[in-house]
Amino acid sequence: MSENVPAWLQEELARYDQLQQTLQALLAQKQQVDLEIAELDRALEELQKQPDDVEVYKVAGSIMIKSNKQDLLKELQEKKELANTRRTVLSKQEEKVRQSLQEVQNKLTQALRGGSTGQQVAT
């Protein structure tokens, strides 16, 4: 069948598949960041409930290190800010990939409706 499909159409189909894979990877990364943000929110909420003089520990590799509440709050807030920035970047990338997918899908739909005559659809 591939010998009947014009090369440009095969390239567009390959591009569409690649964009779909990219979108799936972005969505998985975004989901992971969302989980990280939720975990940070829970940690911040619990830590804020504690008195200022409470003993707190943070995990560093395979050990726990004693810290103070204010330093740990600051560190968790910075991590959350970074995670939110990553989520924003991933959302923008997702939007661009979705737009590209829509453009390629429109080209493919137009080519199939026009009965791929071997001529490339104008872009």
Q: Where are the domains of the chain?
A: 7-113
Fold of 7-113: Helix Hairpins (1.10.287)
Does the pLDDT value for residue 75 go beyond 80? yes
4-13, 17-26, 55-64, 67-76: lowest mean pLDDT where? 4-13
Position 115 confidence tier, pLDDT thresholds 50, 70, 90: low
Average of per-residue pLDDT values in the chain: 91
Distance CA 48, CA 44 (A): 6
Does the pLDDT value for residue 106 go beyond 90? yes
Does the pLDDT value for residue 114 go beyond 90? no
Radius of gyration of the chain (CA): 24
Does the pLDDT value for residue 30 go beyond 70? yes
Nearest to 91 by CA among 40, 23, 38, 43: 23
44: Cβ–Cβ under 8 A, 6 or more apart, which residues?
73, 76, 77, 80
Mean pLDDT of 84-98: 98
pTM, rounded to two decimals: 0.82
Range list of H helices, the chain: 7-49, 69-113
Q: What is the pLDDT of residue 72?
A: 96
Residues in the chain: 123
